[in-house]
Amino acid sequence: MRIRLILFCILLPLYTSNLFAKEYSKRAIKGTLDLREMKNSDHFLINLNGEWEFYWNKLLRPYDFSAAKIKPEYYGEVPSYWTDYPADAIKTNRFGYATYCLTVLLPKGFNSALGIDLPVFDSSYDIYLNGKYYGGNGIPGKSADETKPEYRRNFFRINQASDSLRIIINVSNYHHRRGGFWLPVKLGTFSDVQKKMSNSWAAEWSVMSLLIGFSLFFMLFYVLNPAEKLLGAFSLATLGLALRPLFTSHILLNNLFSMSWTWIIRFEYLMLFLVLIGLSWFVTNLYPSKFSRISAWTITILFSLVGFLTLFLPVSIFSYSTIIYYPLMILLVTYLLYKSFLGTLKKNGLDLVYFLAFILLFIGGFHDLRVSLGKSDTSTGYILTYVIVLFVFIQTALILYKWIKAFNDKEKLQNELAFVNHNLELLVNERTIELKKRNEEIEKQNIMIAIQNKQLSDTIQIKNRIFSVIAHDLRSPVVNILYMLNLLKEKEYKEKYETFANSSIQYAQLVISLLENMLVWGRDQEDKIKYSPEKRDLADLILTNLSIFKETSDKKEISVNFTQIGNPIAFVDKDLLDIVIRNLLSNAVKYTPRGGRISILLKEKTINEEGIMLKICDNGIGIPETKLKYLFTAKEIESTPGTENEKGTGLGLKLCYELVKINHGNISVESKLGEGTCFVINLPVVKGTILEDIEIPVSQL
């Protein structure tokens, strides 16, 4: 089916040409058109085509033919330019003058009124019918000075009184590139010729108005949507074709106002250039390629320049622009046919429609080219404008089709989207919840990783600090113990046995405390601290640790006061709390000056009426306010020497904070530099009770 359709499109031009040919009923032969055998003489219309008597460089009048028998120099084909006549038969020139003569033999006894439709001639003429002057265009002369060119379509009524008609036309051209008449002269009964001419005149006005309307229509859509460059280009081409009837064929401009012959020709060519430029960009946007883009820019630049020169150059020069105009037009249309044909072979419906439309466009353009060159054998004049009207309707239909298709596709997509949204709403919700959970898990993992990284960094820093402490603080007391033991071997130091023994015991206790803190801290870093809570009497823990530091406190002449209020039974881990009390008492002794005091308060209830409160205060050196806020949580491990240069690891208070938290208690501190420090610990008395961290001013305790 598709192959048949393509063959039909190829054969369509031949078929169309045959339709045009049917309108020719008779041709003139050797200056005579014999219509005596015409069957319907009451209504006929014929083109006076064929061989006319041609007299070069002669302007003959009717009396010249009656005074003497003039023999024709040549029988010239009409319509045609005289420059197309063979040089071996008659030598002509583009500039010159000539006389055409034709005798029409009518049926015997014919006496009806005739009408004759005369197209424009290049570039002026006078016409004589049966020896009588009827009119003409401009002033034909034998030189450029004597000649005045003009374009005006003429229609004359002939009251025929005999059965023959002699037509004499004097033609002169000194302004156009070629001379002669290139459109057929129509002859027939007056009513038929008049009707034909009126219909043609009305059709040209209608077509022009229609094309201008469509041009504005396409241009409006291009302005509203600049992305549709195809419509903008098509609008330019359509506008050029729409305005051409003003300057060709019936010269409709003469119905509005008068314009000189030169400017009529100039505007005719400018409209042709506009059509070519618009068509080139139409081709580029319809079938974009490197070739089409280069062609469009070349044509635009070239014919913009030619159009500018047309405004100033004489007609005899700029009219030669058709030599490059028509080949380029044929090239563009051929390219359109080629690309649309390829699309048709690929079963593209739009390309098939374009292919058919371009065939019609090609036929119209080819026909008008032959008409403009005086080579047409048809009875019609220019038809491209009418073909363009059909093409415009096709283009409009394609645009509407695209809009409707786009609208239907959009509506279909909306329906599909609504269906998908309706049926996938639950799935989307489930998927959203799942993704949300995964994101939360990932976020938690990221937080955990960040915390672990931070903890790892802090741990590395702490370990580095601890190793430096071990290198000094652990080595020094061990070396001192060994040194004193070695001294005890000497006889001279035996009387100082008790002093050396007590000092060794203190150094040993310091080492034990240091090692114990380090071991507990190490377990804390690995989350391996064993927590075994039970009800314990805190007074026993305090008294045990006071005995440990008794000798140290006595040596510094520090008075220690322990006060117990109520039943001091708490639900705690004995070993962990023992480390807390020992570290706090150690710090109190370390940072209290000689002759100072330490007070310990163990109270059954806190101000919140729950748990056990332990308060350890001293009147030592105090803690700077800058360190007080980050005392338990500082990243850096820093140890401050005691009042008598006692050493420490800097881990004690951090361990106290962590171990109190493990025992579900809280710890707070209040201190003033130079006045002393108080540590307050709140501990639960019942299993499962967790005391939140609170800041309790010592003044309220």
Average pLDDT over residues 411-435: 78
In this structure, is residue 609 part of a structural domain? yes
- Whether residue 284 is contained in a domain is answered as yes
pLDDT value for 523: 54
Contacts of 159 (CB under 8 A, 6+ apart): 113, 114
The answer to whether position 96 is within a domain reads yes
Mean pLDDT of 276-297: 92
Do 186 and 275 fall into the same domain?
no
My answer on whether 318 and 294 are in the same domain is yes
CB neighbours (10 Å) of residue 508? 14
State the DSSP H helix or E strand holding residue 104, giving kind and residue range, or none if neither.
strand 96-105
Most confident of the ranges 256-260, 469-473, 689-693: 256-260
- DSSP letter string over 481-534? HHHHHHHHTSGGGGGGHHHHHHHHHHHHHHHHHHHHHHHHHHHHHTT------E
Mean pLDDT to the nearest integer, 222-247:
88
pLDDT confidence bin for 461, thresholds 50/70/90: low
The answer to whether the beta carbons of residues 122 and 83 sit under 8 Å apart is: no
Res. 97 pLDDT band, cuts 50 70 90: very high
Of all residues in the chain, what percent carry a pLDDT higher than 90? 26
Pick from 382, 404, 426: which residue ends a domain?
404
Whether the pLDDT of residue 248 is over 70: the answer is yes
Q: Is the dihedral of CA 244, 248, 249, 255 positive or negative?
A: positive
What's the pLDDT band for 7 if we cut at 50, 70, 90? Answer: very low
**177 in the same domain as 218:** no
> How would you classify the pairing of strands 569-572 and 154-159?
unpaired
Domain assignment of residue 413, yes or no: no
Per-residue pLDDT at 298 exceeds 80? yes
Task: At 211, list the tokens.
Answer: 């094309």
Query: Has residue 55 got a pLDDT over 90?
Result: yes
* Per-residue model confidence (pLDDT) at position 95: 94
Do residues 151 and 205 both lie within one domain?
A: no
Phi/psi-derived region of residue 50, left when phi > 0, alpha when psi is between -120 and 50, beta in every other case: left
Those residues with Cβ within 8 angstroms of residue 520's Cβ, 6 or more apart along the chain or in another chain: 529, 576, 579, 655, 659
Same domain, 233 and 371: yes
Distance of alpha carbon 621 from alpha carbon 590, whole angstroms: 10
In this prediction, residues 218-245 reach a mean pLDDT of 88
The mean per-residue pLDDT over the stretch 164-189 comes to 90
pLDDT at residue 381, rounded to an integer: 59
Q: pTM for the whole thing? A: 0.56
- The answer to whether 479 and 518 are in contact (CB under 8 A) is no
Structural domain of residue 552, as residue ranges? 530-700
- What's the DSSP call for residue 141? -
Q: Is 669 left (phi over 0), alpha (psi -120 to 50) or beta?
A: beta
Token code pair at residue 603: 């109270």
| Reported confidence tier of residue 694, pLDDT bands at 50, 70, 90 | very low
The confidence score (pLDDT) of residue 650 equals 65
The pLDDT, as a whole number, for residue 109 is 84
Q: Is 137 helix (H, G, I), strand (E, B) or coil?
A: strand
- The count of structural domains within the chain is 3
Higher pLDDT, 53 or 550: 53
Span 111-126, average pLDDT: 89
Give the Cα separation of 360 and 669 in Å (integer): 102
The yes-or-no verdict on residue 26 having pLDDT over 90 is: no
pLDDT-derived band at 16 (thresholds 50, 70, 90) equals: very low
In which band, very low, low, confident or very high, does the pLDDT at 2 lie, cut at 50, 70 and 90? very low
User: What pLDDT is attached to residue 24?
Assistant: 38
The sign of the CA dihedral 338, 340, 343, 347 is negative
Residue 341 lies in a domain: no
Q: What would the mean pLDDT of 456-483 be, rounded to a whole number?
A: 60
Determine the length of the chain.
Answer: 701
Task: Give dist(CA 453, CA 447) in Å, integer.
Answer: 10
pLDDT grade for 380, boundaries at 50, 70 and 90 = low
**Structure tokens that stand for 674 in this block:** 């130079």
Q: Extract the tokens encoding 556.
A: 């510094």
- Examine the domain organization and report whether 259 and 296 are in the same domain: yes
Q: State yes or no: pLDDT of 200 exceeds 70.
A: yes
What pLDDT is attached to residue 122?
Answer: 82
Q: Would you place residue 3 in the very low, low, confident or very high pLDDT band (cuts 50, 70, 90)?
A: very low
**Largest Cα span, the chain:** 181
CB-based contact 73:150 (threshold 8 Å): no
Q: For residues 485 and 606, which has the higher predicted lDDT (pLDDT)?
A: 485
Lowest mean pLDDT: which of 50-64, 87-101, 368-382? Answer: 368-382
Looking at residue 383, what DSSP letter applies? -
Among 195, 227, 245, where does a domain finish? 195
C-alpha 178, offset from chain centre? 53
- Shared domain for 190 and 216, answered yes or no, is no
β-sheet with 186-189: strand ranges across: 45-47, 186-189, 113-118, 154-159
Least confident range of 39-53, 430-444, 684-698: 684-698
Structure confidence at residue 514 (pLDDT): 61
Asked if 222 and 251 sit in the same domain, the reply is: yes
Mean of the per-residue pLDDT values for the chain? 81
Burial, 351: exposed, middle or buried (Cβ in 10 Å; 0-12, 13-18, 19+)?
buried
pLDDT band at residue 465, thresholds of 50, 70 and 90? low
Task: Tell me how far apart the alpha carbons of residues 400 and 404 are, in angstroms, rounded to a whole number.
Answer: 6
Average pLDDT over residues 179-195: 89
Choice among 114-118, 251-255, 327-331, 367-371 with the minimum mean pLDDT = 367-371
Segment 421-432 shows an average pLDDT of 73
What is the pLDDT, as a whole number, of residue 459?
Answer: 63
Alpha-carbon span 54 to 35, nearest angstrom:
21
In one-letter notation, the amino acid at residue 419 is F
Residues ≥6 apart with Cβ < 8 Å to 678: 615, 616, 617, 618, 669, 670, 671, 698
| 474, pLDDT greater than 60 | no
Contacts of 167 (CB under 8 A, 6+ apart): 48, 100, 101, 102, 103, 104, 116, 127, 128, 129, 185
Q: Is the pLDDT score of 205 beyond 80? A: yes
- The region that residue 164 occupies, defined by phi over 0 for left and psi between -120 and 50 for alpha, beta otherwise, is beta
Q: What is the pLDDT of residue 546?
A: 85
The string of DSSP codes covering 613-677 is: EEEEEE-SS---HHHHTTTTT-SS------TT-----S-HHHHHHHHHHHTT-EEEEEEETTTEE
Please, which residues bridge with residue 125 across strands?
A: 137, 171
Query: Between 364 and 619, where is the model more confident?
Result: 619
Q: Is residue 700's pLDDT more than 50? A: no
CA distances from 107 to 24, 33, 36, 42, 414 (A): 18, 12, 4, 10, 75
pLDDT(257) > 50? yes
What is the pLDDT, as a whole number, of residue 160? Answer: 85
Nearest-10 Cα torsion for 196, 202, 208, 213 = -140
Looking at the structure, do residues 264 and 328 belong to the same domain, yes or no?
Answer: yes
Domain boundary among 195, 222, 246: 195
The whole-number average pLDDT for the span 86-91 is 90
Cα–Cα distance for residue pair 680/697, rounded to 1 Å:
9
Phi/psi of residue 646, nearest 5 degrees: -70, 145
pLDDT above 80 (res 424)? no
What is the reported pLDDT for 691? 59
- Could you give the CA distance from residue 601 to residue 680 in angstroms, rounded to a whole number? 9
What residues have CB less than 8 Å from 421, skipping those under 6 apart? Answer: none
Q: Tell me, what's the pLDDT at 468?
A: 52
Q: Are residues 175 and 205 in the same domain?
A: no
Query: What's residue 607's pLDDT?
Result: 56
Q: Please give the Cα distance from 347 to 625 (Å, whole number).
A: 88
Contact 51, 30 (CB under 8 A): yes
- Whether residue 236 contacts residue 223, with contact meaning beta carbons closer than 8 Å, is answered with no
Higher pLDDT, 156 or 505: 156
Query: Are residues 218 and 188 located together in one domain of the fold?
Result: no
Q: What is the pLDDT of residue 421?
A: 72
Q: How far apart are CA 83 and CA 91, in angstroms?
A: 9
Inside any domain, residue 396? yes
Mean of pLDDT values over 571-596:
85
Return the closest-CA partner of residue 100 out of 56, 66, 133.
56
Asked whether residue 302 falls in the same domain as residue 325, the answer is yes
Residue range 511-538: mean pLDDT, rounded? 67
Cα 205 from Cα 265, distance rounded (Å): 19
- CATH number, position 547: 3.30.565.10
Confidence of residue 621 (pLDDT cuts 50, 70, 90): confident
pLDDT of residue 158: 94
Q: Provide the pLDDT for residue 130.
A: 92
- Write the CATH number for 66: 2.60.120.260
**Structural domain contains residue 616:** yes
- Confidence label for 56 from pLDDT (cuts 50, 70 and 90): very high
In a domain, 127, yes or no: yes
Mean pLDDT of 648-661: 76
Predicted local confidence at residue 695, as pLDDT: 43
Interior CA angle at 153 toward 149 and 154, to 5°? 105
